[in-house]
Amino acid sequence: MRDFYPEIEPYESGHLDVGDGQEIYWETSGNPDGKPAVFVHGGPGGGTAPAQRRFFDPAKYRIVLFDQRGCGQSRPHIADGADLSVNTTPHLIADMERLRIHLDIDRWQVFGGSWGSTLGLAYAQAHPDRVTELVLRGIFLLRRSEIDWYYNGGAAHIYPDVWESYLEPIPVEERDGDLVEVYHRLLTSTDPAVARAAARAWTGWEQATSYLLPRPEETTNTEDDTHRYDLAFASIENHYFVNHGFLDDGQLLADIDSIAHIPGVIVQGRYDVVCPMRSAWDLHRAWPAADLHVVADAGHASYEPGIRHHLIEATDRFSG
């Protein structure tokens, strides 16, 4: 079973002005002369973390991490009033291209899970000549059926107890409607207490359902840091989902021919509730050149042992 590579620190980092008053945080670690790989984080709104550098052999890869607009160390942060009207999928694709050019990278491997798989696919389809391989985990194609499954009651059949906490901020009389729309109103409330409660419940729902075997909550964050994370994660994620991800329904499968020639690996937990296996299977059927690894004893999280194993196997395979 493959384990993480050792902890490393970035050798370079900064903020890139991408227009619209936005500056995205980026960092590079590993081998400056190694094969470029870009890590596309989840959410949207999740931000990056140091452990994500460890999916790559630091002797062979030039590892690029960046925080998408409004979250992580990018500026301005959603908690500081970042403008969500300039935070869309086309904006994020353009940001990735600006970053690639800024770092003087000709082509790079795209690695992403959950929403990172969505944005990774969308970027690759927009710029197929700039992608060497795709390593994707917990596939999310941003179809309406996937949103409804997870946020409008499907997953409640598996996690009815946790679902109660997700419903808690929502008025009883509105619980039979489109809960993504209801949450949008709550998260954009002018009452900070209402927005804070909604952000905690939305974020907590995903945190509680991502692992096959629940893990005790481990955090060293201050209450303010936790609130900032919750607000970025929930507000940006909901903004995308209420706007259908700024994609046509089924677009990523419809445009799959544009990346048919790009080597890929898909890693999927069999018991992923957040992004059920149906999407990984549909992607694999449409893109047979991509290898599919179904992890029999895993849920959604990239840090689960079987998922981590196959992701690192994939980056090792493509390192040469």
Burial letters 180-219, b for 16+ CB under 10 A, else e: bebbbebbeeeeeeebbbbbbbbbbbbbbbbbbeeeeeee
pLDDT bin (cut points 50, 70, 90) of residue 220 is low
Residue 160: how many CA atoms within 13 Å on its side-chain side? 1
Q: Which two tokens stand for residue 90?
A: 């086309």
| Tens digits of residue pLDDT in 2-57 | 999 999 999 999 999 999 999 999 999 999 999 999 999 999 999 999 999 999 99
Give the SS3 label for residue 162. Answer: helix
How many residues does this entry show for the chain? Answer: 320
Are 275 and 302 within 8 A, CB to CB?
no
Omega before residue 276 within 30° of 0, cis: no
Mean pLDDT, to the nearest integer, of 210-219?
Answer: 78
Q: Report the share of the chain in percent with pLDDT over 90.
A: 95
pLDDT bin (cut points 50, 70, 90) of residue 225 is confident
By annotation, the residues acting in catalysis are 114, 272, 300
pLDDT score recorded for residue 33: 98
pLDDT score recorded for residue 273: 98
pLDDT bin (cut points 50, 70, 90) of residue 264 is very high
pLDDT score recorded for residue 124: 98
- Which CATH number is 12-144+247-318 given? 3.40.50.1820
| Tens digits of residue pLDDT in 79-103 | 999 999 999 999 999 999 999 999 9
Domain with CATH 3.40.50.1820 in the chain: 12-144+247-318
pLDDT bin (cut points 50, 70, 90) of residue 216 is low
Mean pLDDT, to the nearest integer, of 49-73?
Answer: 98
pLDDT score recorded for residue 54: 98
pLDDT score recorded for residue 217: 63
pLDDT score recorded for residue 207: 95
pLDDT score recorded for residue 223: 75
CA distance 54 to 8: 8
Q: Which amino acid is at 177?
A: G
CA distance 208 to 150: 13
pLDDT score recorded for residue 222: 76
Give the SS3 label for residue 151. Answer: helix
Burial letters 125-159, b for 16+ CB under 10 A, else e: bbbeebbebbbbbbbbbbbeebbebbbbeebbeee
Mean pLDDT of the chain: 96
- Give CA 192 to chain center in angstroms: 26
* pLDDT exceeds 80 at position 302: yes
pLDDT score recorded for residue 150: 98
What DSSP assignment string belongs to 238-281? HHHHHTGGGS-TTHHHHTGGGGTTS-EEEEEETT-SSS-HHHHH
Q: Which amino acid is at 75?
A: R
Q: Which two tokens stand for residue 30?
A: 């590993």
* pLDDT exceeds 70 at position 241: yes
pLDDT score recorded for residue 214: 81
Omega before residue 76 within 30° of 0, cis: yes
pTM: 0.97
Mean pLDDT, to the nearest integer, of 264-288?
Answer: 98
CA angle, residues 211, 29, 18, in degrees to nearest 5: 90
Q: Report the share of the chain in percent with pLDDT over 70.
A: 98
Which of 260, 77, 143, 18 has its CA nearest to residue 151?
143
